[in-house]
Amino acid sequence: MNLGSAPSRTFFCLRHGATDWNREGRFQGRTDNPINDEGIAQAFTVARRLQRLRFDQIVTSPLQRALKTAEIIAAASATPVAVDHDLVEFDYGSLEGQVIADAMRAHNLKSAEDLSSIMPPDSEPWPHLTERALRCVGNWLDARPGATILFVCHFVVMQALSTALCGKWFHNRHGTPFRFAPTETGWVVDEVH
């Protein structure tokens, strides 16, 4: 994996507002579902919560659930929004739309982290996802030195970033902002309160 464009400074990530497929617990990769009423409320809540951080740029996935979340935050803070296709969600291939719990039961999986072991051949390779997510964040940070940037994206994209930078998965919820920051001992990811 080419990490030449990996991020080198602090950035912020946010998972989009919830959709009906999220509520139903379905694999939702490239299917372009809109955020539902709960997701819209989450976006407005996080927009108020983030106003004190004063982002210089919001970068979002092109999928409408992320784009709408980003637009709500941007409208509350007068922050410019850019779309970057490298933030699009993981491609689950033939698992797309299936119920996650059913797939986990069928394969006797105990944790979402183990789902990568059952991805079908038509899904996106994990190293590809990780490389494009790191490249996206790294390129934006390099292009905007000193800027505070929020990336609005998806669950698995955020897990790929966390695994590559921090060496672990983390619990992330819809509409909850997280800060990724380098330290003397490595990267940390923590919730923004």
pLDDT digit of tens for each residue in the chain (193 aa)?
444 467 889 999 999 999 999 999 999 999 999 999 999 999 999 999 999 999 999 999 999 999 999 999 999 999 999 999 999 999 999 999 999 999 999 999 998 888 888 999 999 999 999 999 999 999 999 999 999 999 999 999 999 999 999 999 999 999 999 999 999 999 999 999 8
Instruction: Output the DSSP codes for 57-106.
Output: EEEE-SSHHHHHHHHHHHHHHT--EEE-GGGSPP--GGGTTSBHHHHHHH
The pLDDT, as a whole number, for residue 5 is: 65
For the chain, which residues make up each domain, given as ranges?
11-191
The pLDDT, as a whole number, for residue 129 is: 96
The pLDDT, as a whole number, for residue 1 is: 43
State the residue for tokens 């803070």. 77
The pLDDT, as a whole number, for residue 116 is: 86
What is the C-alpha to C-alpha distance for residues 139 and 19, in angstroms, rounded to an integer? Answer: 29
Q: Which fold has domain 11-191?
A: Rossmann fold (3.40.50)
State the residue for tokens 């923590």. 190
State the residue for tokens 């989450």. 42
What is the C-alpha to C-alpha distance for residues 104 and 121, in angstroms, rounded to an integer? Answer: 17
| pTM for this model (two decimals) | 0.95
The pLDDT, as a whole number, for residue 75 is: 97
The pLDDT, as a whole number, for residue 37 is: 98
State the residue for tokens 């007068």. 78
CA-closest candidate to residue 119, choices 92, 156, 89: 92
The pLDDT, as a whole number, for residue 112 is: 83
Q: Is there a contact between 134 and 159 (Cβ–Cβ < 8 Å)?
A: no
Q: Is there a contact between 42 and 19 (Cβ–Cβ < 8 Å)?
A: no
